[in-house]
Structure 1
Amino acid sequence: MSKTSLLQPAFTGLLAAALALAAPARAQLLAGPGANSGSVDSIVAVVDEDVILKSELDRAVANVRNQYQGREAQLPPENVLQRQVLDRLVLMRLQVARAENTGIRIGDTELNQTLQSIAGQSGVSIEQMRAQIEGGGLSFDDYRRSVREELQMRRLQQRVVQSRVVISESEIDQFLALRNVDSTEFQLANLLVALPDGATPEQVATAEQKINGIKALMDRGEIDFRAAAIRYSDDRNALEGGDLGWREANSIPPRFAELIQGLQPGQYTAPVRGPSGFQMVQLVNVRQSGPQTVTEYQADHLLVAVNDVVGEEAARRKIDELRARIESGDDFAKIARENSDDTFSRNRGGRLDWFSGETFGPAVTQQVQALQDGQLSAVFRTEAGWHVVRRIATRQQDVTDENRRQRARQQIGERKAQDEFERFLRQLRADAYVESRLGA
């Protein structure tokens, strides 16, 4: 078995957890209370050869309102909220269509596993989740389709980013030479009053007046920054309260980095004119980074794969026999070279040189951590087959420099990925035929 296949169980679990924790965007929009069944449906947008119906928009808007139950005053006026939600639905529809056209498919097995993960994260069974969704006015088939489309969009984003973002070691070296990645990290939020390209002086004056008025409301304590962003911001993250996530100082535009350095958590900058319009940034929270050490292991590994050729019982008998030979004194390396299905370690006599606890997945980690140096594990099962490991040694490894390079890679990658995917979405939107019929 290759290193990739050895890693597969851990990777699959992490991916499922990530998808479960990140509530699907389309499902989140569409899984709210149903639209008024007595209303006459109509088309609110034409997207290439597809349409978005008023009932779909109403359901999405109703779900946003449901999420802000008791805080309805934080939401923008109805016409603005409808426009924001419709813009999201249009982009979702375009991304799903592009995913379909480029061959991105989500099979029933992957979809069912994701739904199980979503239900598990919510502490309910699939049947209970179905009842909750149908009780909210959405069919479970529609919810399944929404989750499938969200998975397609995520796969499309991964494909776009992976095909366009390349980070070289020399680029990391240059980044580290110019910037300190061990700097303080800041959690930020923003509020944007947008200006069109080639804005007239009157439009600039109106936008400036608007953002100054918003700031005055916040200064008087009549509304907090998050609520103001939800209600007034023109940015795509408005409904998330303007959340920008955690940023290191080096990844923040210099103009705003200087401004937030003097802020305390919860405070916000004065309005600043930028390329997209007038903007304010809030410092939500601050955290420090520092040195880090991890426990690393050296171990010998033996795998008997379960596949179409070797069934479950035969694989178990073989691994039991091989373990008995090792325990009786036969050479582990010789046995591994002759019998192991792990092609990554087989040619090295099964040796797995220094690796951290999560490298090969939770099952291997659990076994290695429970052993003493020189001790042989019991046989254990993973998705790949039956394993035996022998722990050779442990050490504490300073991974500060490795983490610095990883943080640098992450900062470069996040910036490039965001820029590239935003560019992709703009081009996707520009190339499409979109006709909004809101208010028609």
Structure 2
Amino acid sequence: MRTISKVFVGFVLAVTGIWLVSNPDLFAASSFISLRHFMVQYSGFLAISMMSLILLLSVRPVWLTRRLGGLDKAYRQHKWLGIAVLVVATLHWAWRMAPKWGVALGLLERGRRGPRPDGAGLHWAQSLFNEQRGLAETVGEWAFYVAVALILIALIKRIPYRWFARTHTVLAVIYLVLVYHSIVLLDFTNWATPVGYVLAVMLLVGTVSSIIVLFGQIGAGRRSTGEVIEVDYLPEMKSLQIAIRSDGGWKGHLAGQFAFVRFGNSNEAHPFTIASAWRDGVPGLTIIAKKLGDYTNTLYETLKPGDRVALEGPYGTFVLDREKLHQIWISGGIGLTPFVAWLEDLVANPAKLEIDFYQVAPHCDPELMARINDLAGRAGVRLREWRDARDGFLTGEKIRSDVAHWQEAQVWFCGPRQFGEDVKNDLVAAGLHSYAFHQELFDFR
């Protein structure tokens, strides 16, 4: 979370600093109307800059997601930028509408329109932009209304995922409309300042990303196909264990990574953590899908061996670290999937690590638990099966009392977000360095 906050705040401060350096007259504004002009320009510049970064993140560039701490962190950044855009774009609209509201409320006098400039002596581009102002303002306003609706659909989790998936792509079209809006309505003098240079780069990056989105080319270089070879229902966990055989295009993965998977004729690709280690000569992977939403619910009724599978990946940086000698693993519920892959990897490629694994769940299927026990024993991992009804809720205090030298350990957590935050806060407050706690943020909405 610290990286996400730093990138978010750093980006906003950088964009704001560029704006202030290029527009020092803001501080000399002597009237509400002149201040309003600067604020409309600044809020529009900030909003379209953040939207450009959102579009870049949406195409899942591996070089960028690695620096953010993994695709899960990149999508969390994507989400918070979306919320920020909603706020800033609303302020942009409010500043633009403020004179009308002020006149209607009697707070401002209706200004007299001066003579329309004839355009003599203007740069040809400035003349062209002036002719387009009315259209740019109109399409920008309607694009704002549509964007607000689409962002709310993305944020409200009660709205089915399939609606979100189908409507979210439309934001790429809205972005292109707002590119036109931004080019025409930016103060022409700003194009020769750092604001203009930065905006040109951001709009180019966002436009290319939008085209990639609209033509369905996200992750095109990381795609492969396969088929389902086995489906096992795990009733205690209300989950499906799905074995997939690759047609040969899947080039391997690190234990703990995840893939976007699309089954059968579905148009929706969903992220699933890979619950198996990669083995040369065995072109396949296993995922565990928990019954959580409208999409995964249908898998229980429709998925069967022989069904075709489309894969994209692998992604993620929540992978086994063989350099940290003392580790604590904590899984909550379905969060055990990356650790199963880690255990397999340790069995296949042993390492001298001291590991305490807290496998926390209300229940776990006997067959899966037997497999985890077997893998843990062969890997030399101290497995602690933690059941809430029997052991109470797992806390950082209990971990500190169980594990010797816990301050020197690296802690890896995958499970419910609040559970992880509670454990982290306790351990950090008691002396664990915050950078030693690694948490998978597997939430893409």
TM-score per shorter chain, which class? under 0.3
**Higher RCO structure (Cα 8 Å, ≥6 apart):** 1
